[in-house]
Structure 1
Amino acid sequence: MKKWVSILFALLLSIGILAGCGETESPVEENNAGEEVQEPAEEPAFPVTITDALGDEVVIEEKPAKIVSLIPSNTEVAYALGLGDEIVGVSEHDNYPEEVMEKEIIGGMEMNVEKIISLAPDLVLAHASSAHNSTEGLQQIKDAGITVLVVNQAASFNEVYESIEMIGTATGEKEKAEEIINGMKTKIAEIEEKTAGITEPKSVIFEISPAPDIFVAGKNTFMDEMLSLIHAENGVGDLDGWLNLDEESFIERNPDVIITTYGYYTENAVDLVLAREGWQDVTAVKNKQVIDVHSDLVTRSGPRLADGLEELAKAVYPEIFE
């Protein structure tokens, strides 16, 4: 029996070589009888067909060697997957990691189609948040023979996981994508466990932009889910989405904590809130519980969102995360 298995193995190996497949030998193990047993070969990662955020079936024939990313969240996911060298073009809004500053800029709110085509990428990572406004440009890129994948617009952690998995599958890094997702889930679970014993949840309002046009984060946003995960209450959780809130209504809601997210472009963001006229009786102002958290960590749908949750938990419940 062993002889026949050896002959069969040699035959299969020779066929693989003659076919020019370039595949490596499958591992061989011995069974309990000491006979060699052929392990089943892993299925090739490509070609792969993915249904993107627009419902289109996108076929990727082989692992992309050159990638253009049209939005920072896609870029962060690609870098987390170890694809920094493959990235050849990013938007002008990309700022993480630092290496993106060395990449070619392919536009901002409006992409430069000619520039993208000139970079000759194998894959363009587009995004559902802007795809409907860029239909013509994306079609031009497709007509140039470049594969375009529209990644879903995520509004929850589960949808972020879907984005990471989609990009991982498209780039041949599905296993790494699973590692990232599992890492995020583990970190989030640890934060939830630390805050599980809270009996008096604090009321928190996210202030997304400063006065006079104050915007806040209501339900159906990342920030609302984050507050739930750390066992805090959204002070505007009865309102939907991102919305403008006048100062009088803000004061009436009297939050325990105010989280600002615009300190990266507004100097002394926290001091400006603390100094607002007529706000001295707001609990967050009175107790100086106004904290700035970088916007990218709590709004950008990528791997760092779990880090943003940790930063938020430390800001709201510093006594637990000392």
Structure 2
Amino acid sequence: MKKIFTIKSFGLLCIILFITLWTTSPALSYPVTFADSRGKSITIDKRPERVVSLVPSITEIIFKVSAGDAVKAVTYHDNYPGEPGSKKIIGGFFSPSISVIEAVQPGIIFISRLHKKVMKKFGHGKCKLINLETDSISDSYKNITLLGSIFNKEKQAARLIDEIKTQLRIISEKVDRIPDSKRKRVLRLMGRDPVMTPGDDSFQNEMIRAAGGIPPVLGKKGNIVVITKEEWVTFNPQVIYGCGGDRETAEKFFNRPGWKDVDAVKNGRIYYFPCNLTCRAATHTGYFVSWLASRIYTDEFSKKGNQVLEEKIFKSRSLDLDLDYIKHAG
């Protein structure tokens, strides 16, 4: 009996040891070393605990991969987290408060190339500054993967990328059925005065192409560039979309000669979406491209022959509704 007990005890010990090593193995993923968008080499030795994110798209990804507990402060442009007051607000994306950031005592600050004052103030201390720019959809995949590694959420990051790619694949299959001769010229409205639009190399024009649209090619690069009235008329957009304050631009310019004389304005094909979808390549890229494509090609997508996904009932259950008009309906 003693030998049997000893063997059983040894076996149990091995199982416990295996489970312990399995559950604690994620710690072996550190350190994480990478170069950010500035080319600066950064090493993360352990899972971050005090993070300030000045970049809404990065905040969005961090929360989506279930690492939001590490974030202590965000901008008022962030729509993550959803619970008001759960994170400290450090101001806006363009004007974060240095003093509020200092009070948080962050170990990591996620910045953009525009945050020069933050770089100057915190660039030489113990706090790590991480700049992850998103100039393309592929950049967003790289950032999701890297943030998964930084916060020890690799599996969640991989699932998120698969989800986005699946949504984009479905839309690609739908728009592939639309002949080139039927493709629409699409322009993203930006700016106030002058009128502006994304540059040729921007992720926003990449989103338009993913939705089956044809964006303008102006020979100008950058996140946002000026479009002249001549360029506007020459391109002659058939669909225009914007967000938020872009309505002011439309109201100001779309009754003026030239600006009003394009197909989209004449036919009333001007649409507005939430800015957190139009201005970010992050966790909702596939969703936004799907929405945009359905706006551009409403008629084409409504045809049953253009369906990609099979019509079927995914789930059903019986409902017992104690309502007289339902009882007598049969």
**TM-score, structure 2 normalization:** 0.76
**Is the aligned partner of 1:52 residue 2:52?**
no
Instruction: Kindly indicate whether residue 49 of structure 2 is the aligned counterpart of residue 69 of structure 1.
Output: no
Farther off after superposition, 104-113 or 160-169: 104-113
Q: Which moved more, 1:76-85 or 1:125-134?
A: 125-134
Q: Out of 154, 168, 183, which is 2:163 matched to?
A: 183
* Percent of aligned pairs with the same amino acid: 23
In structure 2, give the amino acid aligned to 1:71.
Answer: V
Q: 1:268 deviation in Å?
A: 6.5
Whether the aligned pair in 1 keeps the contact of 2:185 and 2:214 (CA below 8 Å) is yes
More displaced 10-residue stretch of structure 1: 97-106 or 217-226: 97-106
Per the TM alignment, residue 209 of structure 1 is displaced from its structure 2 partner at its CA by 2.1
Aligned equivalents of 2:229 and 2:7: distance in 1?
80
Matched position secondary structure for 2:49: coil
Match of 1:256 among 224, 232, 238: 238
Please name the residue that 2:71 is paired with: 87
- Whether the aligned pair in 2 keeps the contact of 1:156 and 1:225 (CA below 8 Å) is yes
Larger mean CA deviation between 217-226 and 234-243 belongs to 234-243
> Distance in 2 between the 1:273 and 1:308 partners?
26
Between Structure 1 and Structure 2, which shows a larger proportion of helix residues?
2
Tell me, yes or no, if structure 1 residue 136 matches structure 2 residue 120: yes
* Cα distance in 1, alignment partners of residues 286 and 255 from structure 2: 32
In the alignment, which residue of structure 2 is the partner of 1:315? 295
Shift of 1:227: 2.1
By relative contact order (CA 8 Å, sep 6+), the higher-ranking structure is: 2
Report the CA distance between 1:317 and its aligned residue: 1.1
After superposition, give the CA deviation of every residue in 1:5-38 in whole Å (9 maximum; x if it has no partner): 9787677789x7xxxxxx84357xxxxxxxxxxx
CA contact (8 A) 2:31 2:44 kept: yes
> Aligned pair 1:294/2:274, yes or no?
yes
| Preserved CA contact (<8 Å) 1:217 1:236 | no
1:107-148 CA-to-partner distances (Å, cap 9, x unmatched) read 433444443343233x424234235553322225x33xx4x2
After TM superposition, the structure 1 stretch with the greater mean CA deviation from structure 2, 189-198 or 301-310, is 301-310
Cα separation, 1, equivalents of 2:81 and 2:256: 35
Q: 1:239 to 1:139 in 2, by over 3 A?
A: closer
Unaligned regions of 5+ residues in structure 1, if any? 17-22, 28-39
Q: Is the 8 A contact 1:151 1:163 kept in 2?
A: no
Change (3 A) 1:100 1:155: farther
What is the identity, as a one-letter code, of the residue corresponding to 1:48? P
Which residue matches 2:215? Answer: 234
Contact 1:70/1:124 (8 A) holds in 2: no
In 2, the alpha carbon distance for the partners of 1:165 and 1:103 equals 24
The amino acid that maps onto 2:57 is S
Matches within 5 A, 1:121-200: 121=106, 123-130=107-114, 134-140=118-124, 142-143=125-126, 146=127, 148-199=128-179, 200=182
Whole-Å separation in 1 of the counterparts to 2:197 and 2:139? 22
The match for 2:187 is 205
- Would you say the 8 A contact 2:54–2:110 is kept in 1? yes
CA distance in 1 between partners of 2:147 and 2:58 (Å): 8
1:223 corresponds to 2:223: no
- CA deviations on 1:185-238 (whole Å, 9 max, x unpaired) are 11111111111111121111211124x410012310112211222222113354
Give how far 1:282 is off. 1.6
3-state SS in 2 of match to 1:255:
coil
Residue 271 to residue 321, structure 1, CA distance change in 2 (3 Å): farther
Q: Cα deviation per residue 1:174-193 (whole Å; 9 max; x = unaligned)?
A: 11111111111111111111
Per mean C-alpha deviation after superposition, the further-off stretch among 124-133 and 246-255 is 124-133
Gap runs ≥5 in structure 2: 303-330
- Contact map agreement 1:209 1:216 (CA 8 A) in 2: yes
RMSD: 3.3
Which residue is 2:104 aligned to? 119
Aligned equivalents of 1:312, 1:129: Cα separation in 2: 28
Does the aligned pair in 2 maintain the 1:293–1:311 contact within 8 Å? no
Q: Structure 2: how far apart are the matches of 1:127 and 1:295? A: 19
> Within 1, Cα distance between the matches of 2:231 and 2:147?
42
- The residue number in structure 2 matching 1:25 is 20
Residue of structure 1 equivalent to 2:225: 243
